[in-house]
Structure 1
Amino acid sequence: MFDFSVLIYPACTAFLFAFVAIKVIKPLALEFGLVDTPTARKLHNGNVPLIGGISIFLAVLVATTIWLPNTQELRLYLIASAMMVFIGAVDDKYDLSVGVRLVGQLIIASLMIYGVGAYIHDLGNVFALGEIDLGWLGIPFTYFAIIVAINAFNMIDGIDGLVGSLSINTFAGISVLFIYQGHEGYISYALILATAIFPYLLFNLGIPEGKSRKIFMGDAGSMFIGLSVVWLLSEGSQGELRSFNAVTALYLTAIPLMDMLAIVIRRVKKGVSPLKPDRDHIHHILLRLGYNQRQTLIIISFIAAILSAVGILGEIYLVPESLMFALFLAIFAIYHGVFRSTKALNYFIKVPK
């Protein structure tokens, strides 16, 4: 029987320190100009501090240092995460070019891959033709996965509460799978990350004091979360003690991943750069349909939770990996078809009055 009491102190430490970090760092961010200024594409009111990612990382740093074993893996993960948060914070302040950000992400990914040995090579039996082991090709595949995860969570960060809710959903799903398999070593990692995000989510949504408390995640946060997601998913889906199949990772990150892939496909079809910003993300489409931000947040978060539950149930009931992969492709095809435009979506979702 798993002893849940061992998780209480790390989780509480992460939550409380994240809350304190926000209170301490927020005035400093305003003083040093680490803020998001309203533009034609950013319609928020006033300069909003970009400190969510920094506060989450500091909370994870403190909680893991206090409560978890001081292993080489933990040290390298924290070093790589600190570097990622630093690059993200610099990008938030000075708006780095895509090339500079990409080089920094690849360097940090190298530290994770070669230092920790955390890379994805076992894809499982996704084609019903036997286990697929990428071998050394797993290294470039993991580089690709890290870049995709970072940008997927960055691109989905378009309305209040969304990236925080989706991040919690992913880390909570990973925690459930670790608990189900009884692999205690990584449960605390995932749970610490999930609980460290809660204070940011409350401030981002203005709970309970309203918009004056608002903060944003910033690129520092999306980069850190993307790196952490890939690290935990690779640790959980690879090796002899794996807790879940690689295909399950698709369900745990379904909304950010599908939204990014659908956007890239649409942009390529239009003949524009996949990196060019637009307002065709899932939250933009729902907003154009007439839903307000809170309703949009609830709809997307509910879909994400359902998809995570499908992935988790597939693990529990030992559904063949090939079937789960085929189902995910079918879900993505439906998602892409339905959310390809406001007009298409209008046939499936009733516009609120």
Structure 2
Amino acid sequence: MISTNPIAQTIFLFALSTALSAIVIRFAISVALTYGIADHPGGHKQHDTITPFVGGVGILIALSIALIMLFNTHPEETLKWLGLGLGSIVIFATGFADDLWQLNYKVRLIIQAAVALVMVLAGGVVLTNLGSLLPDLTLELGLLAVPFTIFATIGGINALNMIDGMDGLAGSLSLVSLLLISTVAFIAGDSSNLTLAAALASGTIGFLYFNLRHASQRRARVFLGDNGSMLLGFLFAWLLVDLSQEPNQAMTPVTAIWLFSIPLMDTISVMLRRVVLRKSPFIPDHNHLHHILLHAGFRIEDTVIAIASLHLLFGIIGLAGLYLGAPEFVMLLGFLLVYAGYFYVTQRPWYFIMALRHLHTILGLTPVEKQGLFLGSYTAQEAESLVRQVSGQLGPSVDSWVQVLEKHSLQRDAGKRYAVAVNIRMVSNDCATDDEIKQYVALLQQRMMEQRGIQIRPFFERNSKNDRRSQNRGNPAGTELRVSERRNPDTGLLILEVMFDKLTLGHPPASGTEKSFSESPAQSRTQSTLQETHQVDE
């Protein structure tokens, strides 16, 4: 007999769902490896091992437990729970088929729309109004309610699916949102949505046990897969719409977007960027926030923590506005301002990457790509001329960053000298694999030598077995010790050494100085900066 005490019932549900989710996923991993139901490296994927994509079964088993409870405690809403169960099974099966056979996005959209229609017609979960987005005026949707609900549901399903690109990220963001939603349902006394959200949160914990990286688990043992991310996205749409609408409204519609902020903002930003570049918004790339953080030197674990913390902050802001009685139009304006800042940062990744690397230096951390390793020894005019030639050769189609770094010399009368490094961020699907990256570098080397007389030499791959770098975090001056470095094989950032014959550079512009050397943003996305660094040997 299931207890009728809400708190005791929730604790029992939480413990049971967590345990069963972990057990079922562990069993599913073994079955998946036996039958080859796994994700293989290649293309835009960053992992380098075969990994099962059966994490969604843990979410599905947690949902099943919640539905059994809901049929028992709320039998008057049997049709609603049948609609929820049917829609979830269909979306899970669609995601699983997509994992196996890569369904066309049009097929996925049609099925997602059908599932959203089931949510509306059988579940009675529909967006009838968007709240008081204007002072003293509630925006009723009327005849647009059903199509808008379908559109919002499809958006939610794909938002979580698109951000699922790193071990632990989608699961961590989902857990944060589900815990916040559980809080809303508990305060409002909405026992049915509390049951659903709590079960899904515990199912997500069971999944994260196998998906998060930690001391005893160097990589994910299972992926959420499209089956899991699409299922969670659908369930988020269900919960957020149901909690924000009458007759038992627990929060405002604008609060819902705060609770789902990071997946929503990241998806909109990435799709807008793809449309601007005249690409399909459904083709994967490496311009999500987590890719930018990786290229800035964050480890995967740190990236997950940073983004999940930001997501939690936005969710808390949304709940604070709800319970402090902030006007809905003010909360909407605040969200739009936050999104504008998010969009600005993610559309200019090199500026953000550069700022984060400075933060790494201040905090005593070490970026993954390079730190304390500087190339060349050139005068200001030579460095400026080299930067202009490299920037012109790369052109606006390459997402690159040319660095000019000031070097300290042990000789007082040596004058200021500068090092030049070219960072190419491999965000195109045309340069996704190791072989394709090598081909790209070889072609770039050939072009630069033939057309500019400049030799480009890639950094060699590090080998920890013969690495003589020091283990301390500092950057010792006057020694031959290199600063320690966390190199992540998942990163797609190339660091190239530029070497040239000074006679081939020609005469630099008369305006050349020892200040920052910059290309016009209107001409190219290549930026160059002059940074003062720690002292290194000449």
- 1:23 pairs, out of 20, 26, 32, with 26
Whole-angstrom CA distance in 1 between matches of 2:219 and 2:253: 42
Relative to 1, partners in 2 of residues 1:51 and 1:211: Cα closer, same or farther, differing over 3 Å? farther
Bigger RCO of structures 1 and 2 (CA < 8 A, at least 6 apart): 1
Query: How has the CA–CA distance of structure 1 residues 339 and 213 changed in structure 2, closer, same or farther, with 3 Å as cutoff?
Result: closer
Deviation sequence 1:100-133 (CA, Å, 0-9, x none): 1111111111111111111112111112250011
Measured in 2, the distance between the counterparts of 1:139 and 1:77 equals: 17
- Amino acid corresponding to residue 137 of structure 2 in structure 1: G
Give the direction of change, closer, same or farther, for the CA distance of 1:66–1:207 in structure 2 (3 Å limit): farther
* In structure 2, distance between residues paired with 1:267 and 1:298: 27
CA displacement at 1:186 relative to structure 2: 1.5
Cross-structure match for 2:11: 8
Considering fraction of residues, name the structure with more strand: 2
Deviations 1:322-348 (A, max 9, x none): 000000000000111122232121364
- Alignment partners' CA distance in 1, 2:123 and 2:342: 35
CA apart distance, 1:211: 4.4
TM-score, structure 2 normalization? 0.63
Number of the residue aligned with 1:94: 101
The corresponding residue for 1:154 is 161
Q: Distance in 1 between matches of 2:90 and 2:112?
A: 9
Aligned identity (percent) is: 32
Q: How does 1:204-219 map to 2 (within 5 A)?
A: 204-206=211-213, 209-211=216-218, 214-219=221-226
- 1:259 corresponds, among 250, 253, 266, to 266
Normalized per residue, which structure has more helix? 1
2:187 maps to which residue? 180
Q: 1:257 and 1:206, CA in 2 relative to 1: closer, same or farther beyond 3 A?
A: same
**How far did 1:5 drift?**
1.8
Is 1:42 matched up with 2:45? yes
C-alpha deviation, 1:59, in angstroms: 2.3
User: In the TM superposition, what are the counterparts of 1:1-353 in structure 2 within 5 Å?
Assistant: 3-66=6-69, 68-69=72-73, 70=75, 71-128=78-135, 130-206=137-213, 209-211=216-218, 214-346=221-353, 348-349=355-356, 350-351=359-360, 352-353=365-366
Residue by residue, what CA displacement relative to the aligned partner does 1:152-180 show, whole Å, maximum 9, x if unpaired? 10111111100001111111111111112
Write the distance in 2 (CA, Å) between the matches of 1:341 and 1:34: 38
Q: TM-score, normalised to structure 1's length?
A: 0.95
Conservation of the 8 A alpha-carbon contact between 1:165 and 1:201: yes
- Aligned residue identity for 2:16: T
Distance 2:36 2:94 in 1: 16
Whole-angstrom CA distance in 2 between matches of 1:196 and 1:310: 26
Letter in 2 for 1:36: D
Kept after mapping to 1: 8 A contact 2:293/2:353: no
Deviations 1:77-112 (Å, cap 9, x if unpaired)? 011101110111111111111111111111111111
Query: Does structure 2 conserve the Cα–Cα contact (< 8 Å) formed by 1:170 and 1:253?
Result: yes
Aligned partners of 1:99, 1:338: CA distance in 2, in Å? 31
The one-character-per-residue Cα deviations of 1:296-339 (angstroms, maximum 9, x if unpaired) are: 11110110000000001111101000000000000000111122
Specify the SS of the correspondent of 2:167.
Answer: coil
* AA matched with 1:172: L
**What letter is aligned with 1:324?**
M
RMSD across aligned C-alpha pairs, in angstroms?
Answer: 1.7
CA distance in 2, matches of 1:254, 1:62: 28
Counterpart-to-counterpart distance in 2, 1:228 and 1:345: 33
* Segment of structure 1 superposing worse, 321-330 or 48-57: 48-57
Please identify, of 209-218 and 317-326, the stretch whose mean Cα deviation from structure 2 is larger. 209-218
Identify the range of structure 1 (64-73 vs 211-220) with the bigger mean alpha-carbon deviation. 64-73
Aligned equivalents of 1:291, 1:209: Cα separation in 2: 20
Matched residues, number: 352
Q: Is the 8 A contact 1:18 1:196 kept in 2?
A: yes
SS in 1 for 2:46: coil
- Deviation per CA, 1:186-228: give whole Å up to 9, x if none: 2111111111100111101255742476100000111101110
The structure-2 alpha-carbon separation of the partners of 1:124 and 1:343, relative to structure 1 and needing over 3 Å to count, comes to same
Provide closer, same or farther for how the CA distance between residues 44 and 213 of structure 1 changes in structure 2, counting only shifts above 3 A: closer
**Mapped partners of 2:284, 2:115: distance in 1:** 25
Q: Distance in 2 between matches of 1:91 and 1:186?
A: 29
Q: Secondary structure at the match of 1:116?
A: coil
Counterpart code for 2:309 = F
- Tell me how far 1:183 sits from its aligned partner: 2.2
Secondary structure of the structure 1 residue equivalent to 2:130: strand
Q: Report the Cα offset of residue 45 of structure 1.
A: 3.0
Which structure has the larger Rg? 2
Look up the SS of the partner of 2:347 in the other structure.
coil
Q: Shift in Å at residue 3 of structure 1?
A: 4.7
Runs of at least 4 residues of structure 1 off by over 4 A? 206-209
Q: Is the 8 A contact 1:338 1:348 kept in 2?
A: no
Gaps of 5+ in 1: none
